[in-house]
Amino acid sequence: MKFLKRLFGSPDEGGPMIIGLPEGQERKLRKYLQEIKDARSDEQEDDEDDFAPLLRVLSERAGSDAIIRSIKERQFGATDAVPSLLDLAEAGDHELSRLAIQAIGWIQSAGPEAEPVMPRLLAIFADDTRPVEVRIACGVAFGGIRQQFQDAVTLLLRHKNNSSPDMRFAVACSIGYVARDTELSSEAADALTEMLTDPDENVRQAAAAGLFFVPTESAVAALCQVLRKDKNRITRYEACRALGTIGSSAAIPALKKALRDREFTVSQQAKYSLSKIGVD
């Protein structure tokens, strides 16, 4: 088995792990989890590495000197660059849009007012012409801009049954992180629980991963069903992880059965989740 990337947390801490990349869509989940790791970082030091990809793209673009200078000098405090970054997010190519949105999320999460930003990011997320990577960047930014999380969660809930698998994938990737520790966390958890039965396996993967952020007893039965029957190893792994976070004794039989899972990482996560519940 090939381990490609460990993101935040080690296996014994239950951190998400992506195993192998036989399908292109798994790269999307890996990218999402990396962006979540970046967004959750408490270390907002003057480290140019965070903004380096954006700065490289901007360096090749005429008229970007002011944005580049502000970001280089002020990093997460570069609030004066946000209006220009929003313009780039709306009008730029897909990769530039993704990088600009990511930077906006970092800058705005440091404390400035988010009201002028959120309506435009919400519109970008809802734009059917945007690729899933741009929508996921919006979702991560929503999670960092806490002042208007209600609007973001409402939009995400509206699209959870969208006919496009990519849109449902973006919703599943984002909604748990955005709604974490808020009064809307139960609504987000209900949506993710419903999405555990989505016909698209990538949506199911992201839904199981999202429940880590909004753990709820009401999701236990559905997660146990995933653990018993889902053929995708990543989905089973994330279900184990979410069950360990929820900590319900009702998950013990399914987790014990998962100790015999043919995938090593699933069985190991099941063992760790059982230990969190208090089962040796």
Task: Identify the bridge partners of residue 3 per DSSP, sorted by sequence position.
Answer: 19
Q: Does 253 have pLDDT greater than 80?
A: yes
Closest CA to 184 of 159, 210, 153, 160: 153
Q: How far apart are CA 276 and CA 226, in angstroms?
A: 20
In the CATH scheme, what architecture does the domain 215-280 have?
A: Alpha Horseshoe (1.25)
Tokens 């806490």 map to which residue?
146
CA-CA distance, 48 to 66, in Å (whole number)? 16
pTM confidence score: 0.79
Q: What pLDDT is attached to residue 91?
A: 86
| Structure tokens belonging to residue 76 | 């997460």
What DSSP element (H or E) covers 220? helix 220-229
pLDDT above 90 as % of the chain:
62
Q: In this structure, are residues 226 and 236 in contact, taking their beta carbons and an 8 Å threshold?
A: yes
Residue 76's pLDDT band (cuts 50, 70, 90)? confident
SS3 4: strand
pLDDT at 145: 84
Token readout for 6 is: 């460990």
Q: Give the pLDDT band of residue 114 (cuts 50, 70, 90).
A: low
**Candidate from 10-24, 48-62, 67-81 with smallest mean pLDDT:** 10-24
Q: Which residue in the block uniquely carries the two structure tokens 């999307």? A: 28
Q: How many residues does the chain have?
A: 280
User: Closest by alpha carbon to 250, among 219, 275, 272, 280?
Assistant: 219
- Domain-wise residue ranges, the chain: 28-33+52-188, 215-280
Q: What is the mean pLDDT of residues 182-195?
A: 96
Distance of CA 230 to the CA centre of its chain: 21
